[in-house]
């Protein structure tokens, strides 16, 4: 998915640079290639940062959910253990 986004960004940057090159005829090919490279690099950087931020947010959300579920499971297990011990004591005292 990330590579598709980077390729799309590169194509858009190239198309944008081509339009700019057609508009100004007095620039050199070397400078145009350099400008396209910088544009692609900037777009790739922006895409990478936004993907990183999104993944980080998803990761933090997942962590919070699993922590909540884990705590609920732990608390349920404790309560089950307590209830079992109480029931065992009741049965033991009833048999005496």
Q: What is the pLDDT of residue 81?
A: 95
Q: Which residue has the tokens 């799309």?
A: 8
Count of C-beta atoms within a 10 Å radius of residue 13: 20
Q: How confident is the model at residue 24 (pLDDT cuts 50, 70, 90)?
A: low
Domain extent, residue 83, equals 2-95
pLDDT, one tens digit per residue, over 47-89 is: 889 889 999 999 999 999 999 999 999 999 999 999 999 999 9
8-state DSSP, 27: S
Q: How many domains does the chain have?
A: 1
- Rounded CA gap, 80 and 89, in Å? 14
With a pLDDT cut of 70, the percent of the chain lying above it is 79
Regarding predicted confidence, which is higher, 5 or 83? Answer: 83
Q: Are 43 and 15 in contact (CB under 8 A)?
A: no
- What burial class does residue 86 get, using C-beta atoms within 10 Å of its C-beta: 0-12 exposed, 13-18 middle, 19+ buried? exposed
């Amino acid at each position: 998915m990330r590579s598709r986004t980077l390729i799309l960004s590169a194509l858009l940057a190239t198309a944008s640079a081509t339009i700019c090159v057609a508009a100004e005829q007095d620039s050199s090919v070397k400078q145009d290639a350099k400008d396209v490279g910088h544009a692609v690099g900037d777009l790739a950087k922006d895409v990478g940062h936004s993907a990183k931020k999104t993944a980080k947010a998803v990761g933090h959300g997942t962590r919070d959910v699993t922590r909540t579920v884990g705590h609920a499971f732990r608390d349920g297990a404790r309560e089950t253990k307590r209830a079992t011990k109480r029931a065992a004591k009741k049965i033991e005292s009833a048999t005496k």
